[in-house]
Amino acid sequence: MKKAFNRGVSLLAIVVIIGIIATGWWYYSNKESETPQDAMDAVIDIEINKAQDDTTTGTTADEEASSGEDRVLQDLNQEGAEPGAMTQKQKEAAVAYTDNGFEPKTIEVAIGTKVTFTNKSGKRMWVASNEHPTHEIYKEFDQGAAGTTYSFVFDKKGTWTYHNHVSPGHVGTIIVK
């Protein structure tokens, strides 16, 4: 009788252990796994939350939308301006961000020119001065968060290299004379 009882307890213990393992397997197999892109998005979101409010001449995407930046780009395009071209009358230039990076990669502008970067890619765009990831070369030239458009008035002469903080291999240069 004692032997039969021990077998019953052993069998019950095995069934409970198998049940716990099956429940754990079911739980973890139905849970969405984190992809490398999910991890990168989480890091970017943390950086965005840490970013300070933009108190320089640069503006955020929300400000751009409300201030009619799209109209400015349309006006430039109606005048026949290509990305990177500058109109003397308005002292404005346009740079497009595409799936292949910034176009044009290098532009030359006069001091005081407002350069508008427009995201025309399927990727996120966060324009910032080099060096990545600290943006120390021209600290004020930093979008501060990913967005669809970003404008910055270059008020310092020099050759300013920049990159997309989200895809740091995409780079460009602004030459301010």
Model confidence pLDDT, tens digit, residues 149-170: 999 999 999 999 999 999 889 9
CA atoms within 13 A on the CB side of 70: 7
The total domain count for the chain is: 1
pLDDT digits (tens, 9 = 90+) for 9-29: 788 889 889 988 888 777 766
Which range marks the domain in which residue 88 is found? 36-176
**CATH number assigned to the domain comprising residue 80:** 2.60.40.420
pTM: 0.50
Of residues 63 and 129, the one with the higher pLDDT is 129
- Could you tell me if residue 23 is inside a domain? no
Distance (Å) of CA 142 to CA 54, 72, 103, 170:
8, 21, 18, 15
